[in-house]
C-alpha cells in the first residue's frame, strides 16, 4: 500500500514539474513568436501622443529603426537620448525612427517626453499588440528594417552611442 502511494505521488510530482517547466519555457523563451533577421517585418499601426496613426507599410522605401522601450528602463532612456541627437540627421538620409512604448498609458509617456525633450514622435502600444507580434520579451529591443521591409537586425539590450549610430548607418536606403 505504501509503495503504491509513493509511486502515485512520484508520478504526480513528475507531471507537475513537467507542466511547470513547459510553462516557463513557453513564457520566457526568446524565440516565442519572434521576428528575426531575414524576416519580412510584420505590418503594424500605432498611434502617437497627438492621435496620429502610423502604419509601417507607409514607410516602404525608407530605413526604419523600430525601438521598443519603457519610461522605467534606464537603458531605454540612454538609447532614446542617442536617437534624439541623431534623429534629424538620419531622417534627412531616409531613415525613420519609430519609438514604440511598451505597455504604458499615454499620460506617463507624455510626461516622460516633456521631461527628456524628445524630438521624434512616441507611439503607444498600451495593449502590447505590436510588441507581442514582434516577440519582444525584454527592453530595449530594436528592429532594423530596410527599405524593402526586411528585418536586417534584431538588437536586444542597452547599446552605446557608437552602436546606435552604426545601426542607423545600416538603414540608409541604397537608392
User: What pLDDT, on the 0 to 100 scale, is given for residue 29?
Assistant: 53
User: What pLDDT, on the 0 to 100 scale, is given for residue 28?
Assistant: 58
Grid cell of 103 as nine digits: 505597455
Look at residue 104 and tell me whether its pLDDT is greater than 80. Answer: yes
User: What pLDDT, on the 0 to 100 scale, is given for residue 22?
Assistant: 73
Average pLDDT over residues 122-131: 95
Is residue 50 within 8 Å of residue 158, measured between CB atoms? no
Look at residue 26 and tell me whether its pLDDT is greater than 80. Answer: no
How high does pLDDT run on average in the chain? 91
Residues 32-89: tens digit of each pLDDT = 458 999 999 999 999 999 999 999 999 999 999 999 999 999 999 999 999 999 999 9
User: What pLDDT, on the 0 to 100 scale, is given for residue 5?
Assistant: 85
DSSP sequence for 21-88:
HHHHHHHH-TTTT---TTSBPPP-EEEETTS-EEEGGGGTTSEEEEEEE-TT-HHHHHHHHHHHHHHH
Amino acid at each position: 500500500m505504501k509503495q503504491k502511494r509513493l509511486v502515485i505521488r512520484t508520478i504526480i510530482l513528475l507531471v507537475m514539474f513537467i507542466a511547470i517547466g513547459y510553462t516557463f519555457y513557453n513564457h520566457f523563451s526568446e524565440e516565442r513568436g519572434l521576428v528575426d533577421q531575414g524576416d519580412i517585418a510584420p505590418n503594424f499601426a500605432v498611434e502617437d501622443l497627438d492621435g496620429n496613426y502610423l502604419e509601417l507599410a507607409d514607410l516602404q522605401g525608407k530605413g526604419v529603426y523600430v525601438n521598443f522601450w519603457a519610461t522605467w528602463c534606464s537603458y531605454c532612456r540612454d538609447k532614446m537620448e542617442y536617437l534624439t541627437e541623431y534623429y534629424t540627421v538620419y531622417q534627412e538620409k531616409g531613415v525613420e525612427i519609430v519609438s514604440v512604448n511598451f505597455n504604458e498609458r499615454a499620460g506617463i509617456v507624455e510626461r516622460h517626453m516633456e521631461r527628456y525633450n524628445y524630438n521624434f514622435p512616441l507611439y503607444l502600444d498600451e495593449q502590447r499588440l505590436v510588441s507581442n507580434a514582434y516577440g519582444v520579451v525584454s527592453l530595449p529591443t530594436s528592429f532594423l528594417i530596410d527599405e524593402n521591409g526586411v528585418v536586417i537586425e534584431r538588437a536586444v539590450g542597452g547599446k552605446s552611442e557608437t552602436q546606435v549610430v552604426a545601426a542607423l548607418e545600416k538603414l540608409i536606403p541604397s537608392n
